[in-house]
Structure 1
Amino acid sequence: MSKENILSVKNLHVNFRTYAGEVKAIRDISFDLNKGETLAIVGESGSGKSVTTKTLMGLSEKNAEVSGQIDFKGRNLTELKEDDWVQVRGNEIAMIFQDPMTSLDPTMKIGMQIAEPILLHEKVSKQEALDRALQLMKDVGIPNAAEHINDYPHQWSGGMRQRAVIAIALAANPEILIADEPTTALDVTIQAQILQLLKDIQKERQSSIIFITHDLGVVAGMADRVAVMYAGKIVEYGTVDEVFYNPQHPYTWGLLNSMPTTDTEAGSLEAIPGTPPDLLYPPKGDAFAARNAYALDIDHEEIPPMFKVSDTHFAATWLLDERAPEVTPPAAILKRWEQWQKMKEN
């Protein structure tokens, strides 16, 4: 049974006008989000992950030029005026930011901060909004919530502040939650708790989540589908199992090869050499070519199209062209391919 599509991004471009010239931050990306699923967008810093999510929320900088389509409930969000965004932002699409300390108002009581979106989007009394805020505090696992509803952010730990930020995002019961690296500022134990909380919330509310991260280890336990971003483009897109066990793009190989697993041998982790390109002057061909040990001559000349690996799996690499020579990926990737074959047989 096909899943219901809730958000569709088509041919999205985001350019920033700067004194140095035009930065092409997002270069023609397309993806879909289905109801009740988690789509993870992964990639190194500067790959365009956060610019994408800010664009989805109508939070682009003043010097941004946005083109393409973001279809949500029969509307193209790229055409909304600021007044129209008030109804969408926080109400239908909400965001959990990376650093809870900078996304909470240090001068306002936490209970009131959670109640604020309810007061903004619904006709309820202040007391009713605070009652709902208290319930949300309990829902996100804040202990002794009634005793702490009048606390200020500085009185709470990082993990508790992140729970408060999640409660604010949930306050108006949005259909889509965008989580922008929500566990980066937290220690490993608290990270696991927050990730489990998001999974529980999703199951209970049937919400859809766009999860932004550079940590592929987090993706494995969270996502249904994965979009791998590099230099403002999506270079691989598929189900979580396809991207983890049957990766096709050399950039995805590099990301997976730099991630420790339970059977990683000592000294076998490898960093991707070099740095991402300057998007003031995007490369002529495949943006990853200069860092790619498997690059073909055509990679330096032409941007590869999205090749179809399966009905749900696509990758933008010339290695998938029928004319391309066969290459042997790193040993760790060959192991993943072997696992993939076993998974398909079972």
Structure 2
Amino acid sequence: MSNIQLDVKNLSVSFSTQAGKVHAVRDVSFSLHKGETLAIVGESGSGKTVTCRTLMRLLSKNASIDAGEILLEGTDILKVSERNMRHIRGNDIAMVFQDPMTSLDPTMKIGRQIEEVITLHRKVKRKEARKRMLELLQLVGIEDPRRRSRQYPHEFSGGQRQRIVISIVLACNPKVLIADEPTTALDVTMQAQIIDLLKSLQKKINTSIIFITHDLGVVANVADRVAVMYAGKIIEIGRADEIFYDPRHPYTWGLLNSMPTLDTSAPSLYTIPGAPPNLLKPPTGDAFAPRNEYALAVDELYEPPMFQISDTHYAATWLLDARAPKVNPPAVLNKRREEFIKRSGLYAES
């Protein structure tokens, strides 16, 4: 029996705008194994959220899925009817969004909102739904769930509201949980608590998680594997320790180098020069070439294929071609990465 929970193959998504067709996701492929956490990282506009909203089939009317398959345990959910998709959402695949207030109805008590999801998907009586609702609130760490279930969203803190949204998402024990930057709007303490909660819940209900973030600090603490996206494509993918200890794409070097650390001797934080390309007209060669200080002449002409580094590690850069000159990561990257890894708790396998 296959261990793959979700298999995305050659997915391309575009948006029709007044300016033209925006190619937001371009030939993206990845798999998600049962019980694992896959982090998708990259700058704003890299295609992370569009990719994952496509998995839920929650795209705007001007969006078009141009190519690809999304296989959930072998079933291509791009081919099922919207009626069947409504059943799949919640039962099989669910999503936690960045801002919990956009997911909660401010006019309804939170207990009723959770019960509504349970009765809709599980077809159970209200008494049973209420019992399940209280169990979920307790599971996500809401104290005195009976009293608090009678309160409205505005009566909770940001971290508590995110916990409530997670309880709604978990109401039907989904096989795949997508977390779209669920800690971005929270302070550092709340971020750590939500991350710990997701890791704990994953072990309890054995769900698979796709974690979208631009924060590599989150990646080190939560991910089994990491996919790095740029300009609508996955340009490097591997185990978390491979991405941190042996990154191969210059864009990944830039992301790692721009992580804040405890070293305050540097006058300013490193930033990747330039800006992502305009995806109204995707570049012919390597999309990262204009921002890449190690770019080769071939980068302007041809898009690099995915080069295999190990059984689990791949990167799309011409620097990995046998004919390319030898280029090492920036020296400063090693120091910054090692410091970050030590304080994040991520260690390479022996």
Report the TM-score range of the alignment, normalised by the length of the smaller protein.
Answer: over 0.9
Give the conservation status (yes or no) of the 8 Å contact 2:93–2:177: yes
Give the conservation status (yes or no) of the 8 Å contact 2:4–2:73: no
Letter in 1 for 2:211: F
Residues 69 and 330 of structure 1, relative CA distance in 2, 3 Å threshold: same
Confirm or deny that 1:29 pairs with 2:60: no
Letter in 1 for 2:15: F
Alignment correspondent of 1:321: 321
Whole-angstrom distance in 2 between the partners of 1:171 and 1:246 = 39
Deviations 1:159-187 (A, max 9, x none): 11000000000001101100000001111
1:125-136 counterparts in 2 under 5 A?
125-136=125-136
Confirm or deny that 1:63 pairs with 2:62: yes
Whole-angstrom distance in 2 between the partners of 1:296 and 1:316 = 13
SS at 1:281 equivalent: coil
Whole-angstrom distance in 1 between the partners of 2:264 and 2:245 = 15
Alignment correspondent of 2:19: 20
Deviations 1:60-108 (A, max 9, x none): 1112111201111221111122111111001110111100111111111
Letter in 2 for 1:138: Q
Q: TM-score, normalised on structure 1?
A: 0.95
Whole-angstrom distance in 2 between the partners of 1:175 and 1:311 = 26
Confirm or deny that 1:162 pairs with 2:162: yes
Q: TM-score, normalised on structure 2?
A: 0.94
Deviates more, 1:213-222 or 1:56-65: 56-65
Deviates more, 1:84-93 or 1:331-340: 331-340
Alignment correspondent of 2:73: 73
- Root-mean-square deviation (Å): 1.9
Alignment correspondent of 2:298: 298
Residues 62 and 345 of structure 1, relative CA distance in 2, 3 Å threshold: closer
SS at 2:209 equivalent: strand
Alignment correspondent of 1:9: 8
Give the conservation status (yes or no) of the 8 Å contact 2:92–2:175: yes
Offset at 1:333? 3.2
Offset at 1:263? 5.7
1:226-241 counterparts in 2 under 5 A?
226-241=226-241
Deviations 1:34-84 (A, max 9, x none): 000000000000000000010000101112111201111221111122111
Letter in 2 for 1:221: N
Residues 344 and 3 of structure 1, relative CA distance in 2, 3 Å threshold: farther
Confirm or deny that 1:273 pairs with 2:273: yes
Q: How many residues align?
A: 343
Whole-angstrom distance in 2 between the partners of 1:3 and 1:207 = 16
* Structure 1 gap segments, 5+ residues each: none
Alignment correspondent of 1:123: 123
Offset at 1:337? 9.1
Whole-angstrom distance in 2 between the partners of 1:18 and 1:292 = 29
Give the conservation status (yes or no) of the 8 Å contact 2:99–2:185: yes
Confirm or deny that 1:177 pairs with 2:177: yes
Whole-angstrom distance in 2 between the partners of 1:260 and 1:3 = 39
Deviates more, 1:119-128 or 1:178-187: 119-128
